[in-house]
Amino acid sequence: MSQSSSRSLFLLTVPLLVTTVLTLLAPIVFLFRTALYAPEVSRGLPRFVAALEADTAAVPREEVFRVLAEDLGRRKETFEHGIVIKPIRHQDLELWKMLKGILRVLPEDPSIAEISSWQRWFSEHDSRWESANTWRRLRRVIQPVTDFYLLEAMDLKRDGENALVWQEKEKQLFLGVLLNTLEIGGVVTLLCLLLGYPLSLYLASLSSRTARILFLFVLLPFWTSLLVRTYSWILLLQREGVVNGMLAALGLVSEPLPLMHNRFAVYVTMTHVLLPFMILPLFVVLRNIPSPLTTAAASLGASPWRSFLTVTLPMSVPGIAAGSLLVFSIALGFYITPALVGGSEDTMLSQLIALNVNSLLNWGRAGALGVILLGTVMVLFLSVTFVLLSRMRWNPLAGELR
């Protein structure tokens, strides 16, 4: 191939490159940014933040109180006070309520208000403004770069001395949900593998005509909307659903089995939805294992079971790895299915991300949760790749044939 044609081939990939940057890399950068960077306070109250940083006293002098009043007054006038103090609300609700209290009573234009001592004015409204504790906390929450959201996403926080401590018990949430998410992802991957491997093996052994027809059944659900598939499982598994109806009609159960709105339902539905993602890569790899290899194994006296264990299985490892990674990483991002078919203890991380993005509007926390999820997937992906690569070196046959 000439150089110019390889250049035009490269140009063909430019749209994909642009799309990847726009839809994948840019959001990831944005994700990290929202998780770590909350510049609203320092940008919205610039003179106050500068004055407070210049003043090292435990309770600052009059000047700092005055510029705080003026900066807040200016933001109140343009109706931007809410967004400016929002990061404080996330990090320290009490402090936020104190600032809201000040905003409520602030005179129209503080810079021309006849107030001799702003310090006294602040403490008359709320004596906590005199306390060093208030100012120590305030100094912390005005920082534009913060690890608060990331720590929060790991159920950690900083105490008064800036040391890392666990969140109070009744607020601990995110690690539990992360574990839930990994557990659900892991079990679903395993189920997909257990169901998908024999099927792929069977499909790979068929003539391509038959395989194509049977593949239609694998792909058919693939083309159906996720919601429709989820709802059909609800119809099947609910208390008065098809399955319980049949069991009752056969006299096998006297009480309907609890099949819906629990972990079992989450596993069944997600496995059904994700199964094609396991079968497709497995099928491709299994199909490409040269059949003379198994024939050779048989002619050398290997039982079918032994030939499977020593030839087919090792050679299908790349397919297992690809399918499992695909299923696992897609499973980690599920949130509609567990919300519809799960019970109270089946919350997955993406549900909390959606909650924070859509209803609570806490994008900092959502970003941090996204970073945690992304980090987990990356670590898993890299370790599987590493294991696989070292395995390839160890298994020369598989390495050569690829």
Partner 1 sequence: MKKRVPGGVIFFLGSLLALATLPQESMADSIGFASWGGAFQAAQNKVIVQPWSKKTGHEVKNFSYNGELAKIKAMVLSKNYEWDVIDLEAGSAHVLCEEGMLERIPESFWEGVGGKALFLESAVHECSVGAVVWSTIFAYDSRRVAPEEAPKSWKEFWDVKKFPGARSLRNSPRGNLEFALLADGVDRNDIYPLLRTKAGIERAFRKLDEIKPHIKKWWSAGAEPPQLLADGEVRYSSAFNGRISEANKNQGQQFVIEWNGQHVTLDHYAIARGNPKKKRALELIAYSLSASSQREFVQEIPFAPVRKGVLETLPKSIQNQVPTADVHGYPDLAIQADEQFWMVYQEELTERFESWKLRSTAH
Q: Which residues bind partner 1 (CB under 8 A)?
A: 4-5, 7-8, 11-12, 14-16, 18-19, 22, 79-83, 86, 89-90, 93, 97, 170-173, 176-177, 180, 238-241, 260-261, 339, 343-345, 347, 352, 355, 357-362
Q: Which is nearer to partner 1, 314 or 343 (CB)?
A: 343
CA distance 116 to 114: 6
Contact 165, 158 (CB under 8 A): yes
Smallest distance, partner 1 to C-beta of residue 402, A: 28
Does the CA dihedral 255-260-266-272 come out positive or negative? positive
In angstroms, give the least distance from the CB of 102 to partner 1: 15
Longest dimension (CA), the chain: 102
Give me the least distance between CB of 149 and partner 1, in Å please. Answer: 13
**Minimum separation from the CB atom of position 342 to partner 1 (A):** 9
Q: How far is the CB of 35 from partner 1 (least distance, A)?
A: 16
Nearer to partner 1, 238 or 269 (CB): 238
How far lies 291's CA from each of 84, 93, 204, 307, 321, in Å? 67, 67, 10, 11, 22
Q: Give 227 or 401: the residue with its C-beta nearer to partner 1.
A: 227
Quote the tokens at residue 242.
């098809």
CB of 361 to partner 1, least distance (A): 6
Q: Tell me the closest approach of the beta carbon of residue 231 to partner 1, in angstroms.
A: 9
Measured from the CB atom, the residue of 112 and 179 that comes closer to partner 1 is 179
Question: Which of 14/145 has CB closer to partner 1?
Answer: 14
Work out how close the CB of 48 gets to partner 1 at its nearest, in angstroms, rounded to a whole number. Answer: 18
The nearer residue to partner 1, 268 or 278, going by C-beta atoms, is: 268
Min dist CB 353 to partner 1, Å, is: 11
Return the number of the residue (355 or 384) whose C-beta is nearest partner 1.
Answer: 355
Which residue lies nearer to partner 1 by CB, 83 or 253? 83
Tokens of residue 150, six digits: 């990331």
Closer CB to partner 1, residue 6 or residue 224? 6
Give the residue with the Cβ less far from partner 1, 173 or 330: 173
Q: Which 3-state string (H, E, C) describes the chain?
A: CCHHHHHHHHHHCHHHHHHHHHHHHHHHHHHHHHHHECCHHHHHCHHHHHHHHHCCCCCCCHHHHHHHHHHHHHHHHCCCHHHHCHHHHHHCHHHHHHHHHHHHHCCCCHHHCCCCCHHHHHHHHCHHHHCHHHHHHHHHHCCCECCHHHHHCCCEEECCCCCEEECCHHHCCHHHHHHHHHHHHHHHHHHHHHHHHHHHHHHHHCCHHHHHHHHHHHHCHHHCCHHHHHHHHHHHHCCCCHHHHHHHHCCCCCCCCCCCCCHHHHHHHHHHHHHHHHHHHHHHHHHCCCHHHHHHHHHCCCCHHHHHHHHHHHHCHHHHHHHHHHHHHHHHCCCHHHHHHCCCCCCCHHHHHHHHHHCCCCHHHHHHHHHHHHHHHHHHHHHHHHHHHHHHHHCHHHHHHC
In the complex, least distance from residue 32 CB atom to partner 1, rounded to whole angstroms: 18
